[in-house]
Amino acid sequence: MKVAVTGATGTIGARLVEELRARGDEVTVLSRDAERARRAFGGEVDAVTWADPKSEPAPAEALSGREGVVHLLGEPIAQRWSDETKREIRDSRVLGTENLVRGIAAAEPRPKVLVSQSAEGIYPRGSEPVDESGSADPGTFLSDVVAAWEGEAAKASDLGLRVVRARTGVVLSPEGGALATMLPFFKAGLGGPVAGGRQYVPWIHLDDTVGALLFCLDTEAASGPVNVTAPEPVTNKVLSKVLGRVLGRPAILPVPALGLKVLYGEMAQVVLTGANVRPRRLEELGYRFLRPELEPALRAATGRES
């Protein structure tokens, strides 16, 4: 299969490209800096510059004749939010996706499928189980961004593409994201439950993040919203306890909400609240999770498999 990938140089994208290449697919990477992207992949991928996804259509020559597109780019969410960073978080996704679809419209022939990254942050926070039938949470920054991001992706279906909106959870990878941030504290014995730890963490190991994205790319029956989360979400308290056990370090130091708010401002809400997300569509479609259980997943992500 010929596949174009945006955000390919990121934590998820780099692994996805590796897997696509391992199975013999032809990959075209779209990056703000094609030369940097090519170097990141040891000169082994075709890379095309899309210098400013917010203001120009994706280059049609990078999309023409590709069967699939996986769209991952976006300004990192896990940083202190200022007005400026919030605008970049939103615009890189919403305008970036609008411009991707403009590029797809100009491609000849057009791709058949778009797997567009989305996030579980679309759902209301709480402990009630929620699947793809759950509604968004209007009026909250992240949910509004994700809903608008998905809205732009969905427009590719008017062009005849099968569109999957991959509502990804908290990706467990030592290379980036939440686990990479937590690890130094936990390794130093300074980890523990955040703000009481009752909030759910809809985790997913990187292997399954990539596995599910590939599954959605390949599976004709996959379209619309698909939760990319493990079958058994846990609370932050359980996650802290299991991570401590995996690392052989105590994980009992409570992390106060106030400390996180001082450090991260409004973004702290992302860790102080959570959603009990269930991957109903993946299960219905028959996706076989590679790492469905938390402890083995954490052992793999931290290199402590025995």
Ligand X SMILES: NC(=O)c1ccc[n+]([C@@H]2O[C@H](COP(=O)([O-])OP(=O)(O)OC[C@H]3O[C@@H](n4cnc5c(N)ncnc54)[C@H](OP(=O)(O)O)[C@@H]3O)[C@@H](O)[C@H]2O)c1
Q: Where are the alpha helices (DSSP H) in the chain?
A: 11-22, 34-40, 83-106, 141-154, 178-187, 206-218, 236-247, 257-264, 269-272, 280-285, 294-301
* Cβ 296 vs Cβ 245: under 8 Å: no
Nearer to ligand X, 49 or 253 (CB): 49
- Site membership for ligand X, residue 202 (CB under 6 A): no
Nearer to ligand X, 109 or 184 (CB): 184
- Site membership for ligand X, residue 97 (CB under 6 A): no
- Site membership for ligand X, residue 10 (CB under 6 A): yes
* Cβ 235 vs Cβ 199: under 8 Å: yes
**DSSP string of 28-83, one letter each residue:** EEEES-HHHHHHHTTT-SEEEE---TTTSPPPGGGTTT-SEEEE-----SSS---H
The closest alpha carbon to 236, from 247, 251, 258, belongs to 251
Residue, CB closest to ligand X: 10
CB of residue 178 to ligand X, shortest distance in Å: 6
- Site membership for ligand X, residue 276 (CB under 6 A): no
CB of residue 284 to ligand X, shortest distance in Å: 21
Please report, in angstroms and rounded to a whole number, the separation of the first and last CA atoms in the chain.
36
Residues between 101 and 130 that touch ligand X (CB under 6 A) = 117, 119
* Cβ 285 vs Cβ 270: under 8 Å: no
Looking at residue 54, its amino acid is K
The residue range among 68-76, 252-260, 280-288, 293-301 that interacts with ligand X, by the rule CB under 6 A, is 68-76
Please state, as a whole number, how many other Cβ atoms lie within 10 Å of the Cβ of residue 78: 14
SS3 call for 110: coil
Q: How far apart are CA 152 and CA 164, in angstroms?
A: 12
CB of residue 85 to ligand X, shortest distance in Å: 9
Q: How far apart are CA 220 and CA 232, in angstroms?
A: 26
* Cβ 236 vs Cβ 186: under 8 Å: no
- Site membership for ligand X, residue 76 (CB under 6 A): yes
Q: Which of 3, 5, 9, 299 binds ligand X (CB under 6 A)?
A: 9
- How many residues touch ligand X (CB under 6 A)? 26
- Site membership for ligand X, residue 225 (CB under 6 A): no
The residue range among 66-74, 151-159, 244-252, 294-302 that interacts with ligand X, by the rule CB under 6 A, is 66-74
- Site membership for ligand X, residue 53 (CB under 6 A): yes
- Site membership for ligand X, residue 31 (CB under 6 A): yes
CB of residue 112 to ligand X, shortest distance in Å: 22
- Site membership for ligand X, residue 12 (CB under 6 A): yes
SS3 call for 24: coil
Q: Which of 88, 144, 283, 293 binds ligand X (CB under 6 A)?
A: 88
Site string for ligand X, 143-182 (x = CB under 6 A): -------------------------x-xx----xx-----
CB of residue 86 to ligand X, shortest distance in Å: 12
CB of residue 109 to ligand X, shortest distance in Å: 25
- Site membership for ligand X, residue 47 (CB under 6 A): no
Q: Which stretches of the chain bind ligand X, using CB under 6 A? A: 7, 9-13, 31-32, 37, 53, 72-77, 88, 92, 96, 117, 119, 168, 170-171, 176-177
